Structure 1
Amino acid sequence: MIRTLLALDGALVRGALAFVLGTQDDIDVVAELDRSEQIGPAMWSQRPDVAIVDLDLYGAGRPPERQAPPGHRCPVLVLADPRRSHALREALRAPGRTVGFLGHHVAPQRVVDAVRRLFRGELVVDAELVAAALTRRNPLTGREVEVLTVAAEGCPVVEIAAKLALSPGTVRNHLSRIAGKAGARTRIEAVRIARDAGWI
């Protein structure tokens, strides 16, 4: 059995993936986590063969594969959003790590296959994800960068407008276009995506 640890932000996604993995004859989910500080203790207590970790949790502290007990090999499959190119580039650059990368949007069967491949010591890399990390350029205009940079300080629309000598309506239009380009549902999410991608 391939003992598998899941460390994913979001109970629904984590639960769905745990269910899919649990239906496999050769995979056993031994831990389901939602915080980075839980990874180290679970590595020691459960000794997983493979860990599946969200990019946010992977980059939040010591890499999971370095938190395993001495002599215990545990490759890590990182699930990442292609829009988060800066954070993904940092993870891809890290030397000497046994890590695989897949987009978080892939079909569950690809995750199942990736777990088996990592367990066998094979390389797992999503070519589209790597291409996005290496080639994605800033889609924001100069003015949109200015608006989002001020918005990132927590300023309301009226204050952003006053600081940049714009009308509140123009600021709202910029924020709406920024959210669309970033694929974000909220301004806070747009700021996070832009920072992770190195746009602001």
Structure 2
Amino acid sequence: MIRVILSEDQRLLRGALATLLSLEDDIEVVGQAENGEAALTLIREQQPDLAVLDIEMPLKTGLDVAEAIKQEQLNCRVIMLTTFARPGYLQRAMAAGVSGYLLKDSPSDELSDAIRQVYAGRRVISPELSLVVWDNPCPLSAREREVMQLAAQGLTMQDIGNKLFLSHGTVRNYMSEAIGKLGAATRMEAIRMAQDKGWLE
């Protein structure tokens, strides 16, 4: 029996998924959570074989939970559910050791099949999602993403320089490079574009 934790902040969808999975002979939903913090607590307590996580949840996102599972070395594989085909999300999920990445509107039998595949040690990614990443590699360097992330939080160029131990001019150059790479007209437009792609954490 494959023991599964299910975490989704929309109660109706969570209930529907739990009901569908409980119809499978070899899958048991041993816990449900409505946010990421509750999901992580359940995973620590129940020690399930697998967690099915919504990527965008209150308190902790699915990505936050996946990263905590990896950091704490919990023996729990992860399948991420998303409505967003954002390349940055998938790249971050892969880095966190996520084994499955599916669209929420996938057929229900696709989820149960993915659970079996991931439980068996394989990786499962919706074809639509892998194509998005293939077609949209992030053009920004790690430092450019870091500068943009801090700017998105409202820090000034001077504040960012102080935080990263860089000169004001160097920070301005990183931001200018990022704006140019994204083809944006302004700093705010560049930040919005990067956020929409999921390239800023």
TM-score, length-scaled by structure 2: 0.61
- Out of 58, 78, 102, the residue aligned to residue 62 of structure 2 is 58
Change in 2 beyond 3 A, CA 1:193/1:13: farther
- Out of 64, 77, 80, the residue aligned to residue 79 of structure 2 is 77
What is the match of residue 176 of structure 2?
Answer: none
Question: Could you tell me whether the CA contact under 8 Å between 1:87 and 1:196 is conserved in 2?
Answer: no
Coordinate RMSD, CA, aligned: 3.0
1:16-165 correspondence runs (5 A): 16-56=16-56, 57-60=61-64, 63=67, 65-66=69-70, 72-92=74-94, 94=95, 97-136=97-136
Gap runs ≥5 in structure 2: 138-151, 153-191
Gap runs ≥5 in structure 1: 138-151, 153-191
Q: Aligned partner of 1:133: which letter?
A: V
Instruction: Report deviation, 1:103.
Output: 1.4
Q: Aligned partner of 2:22: which letter?
A: G
TM-score, length-scaled by structure 1: 0.62
**Aligned partners of 1:193 and 1:17: how far apart in 2?**
32
Instruction: Report deviation, 1:67.
Output: 6.6
Question: Could you tell me whether the CA contact under 8 Å between 2:66 and 2:98 is conserved in 1?
Answer: no
Q: Aligned partner of 2:91: which letter?
A: R
Change in 2 beyond 3 A, CA 1:2/1:61: closer
Instruction: Report deviation, 1:9.
Output: 2.1
Q: Aligned partner of 1:124: which letter?
A: V
SS in 2 for 1:52: strand
**Aligned partners of 1:120 and 1:198: how far apart in 2?**
29
Q: Aligned partner of 2:63: which letter?
A: G
What is the match of residue 8 of structure 1?
Answer: 8
**Aligned partners of 2:88 and 2:98: how far apart in 1?**
20
Q: Aligned partner of 1:120: which letter?
A: A
Change in 2 beyond 3 A, CA 1:193/1:106: farther
Instruction: Report deviation, 1:3.
Output: 0.6
Question: Could you tell me whether the CA contact under 8 Å between 1:58 and 1:64 is conserved in 2?
Answer: no
Instruction: Report deviation, 1:134.
Output: 3.4
Instruction: Report deviation, 1:123.
Output: 1.8
What is the match of residue 156 of structure 1?
Answer: none
**Aligned partners of 2:25 and 2:113: how far apart in 1?**
13
Q: Aligned partner of 1:125: which letter?
A: I
Question: Could you tell me whether the CA contact under 8 Å between 1:40 and 1:67 is conserved in 2?
Answer: no
SS in 2 for 1:9: coil
Change in 2 beyond 3 A, CA 1:193/1:78: farther
Aligned length: 145
What is the match of residue 158 of structure 1?
Answer: none
Q: Percent identity?
A: 32
CA deviations over 1:72-111 (Å, ceiling 9, x no partner): 521100112243333233223x16x252111111001000
Q: Aligned partner of 1:24: which letter?
A: E
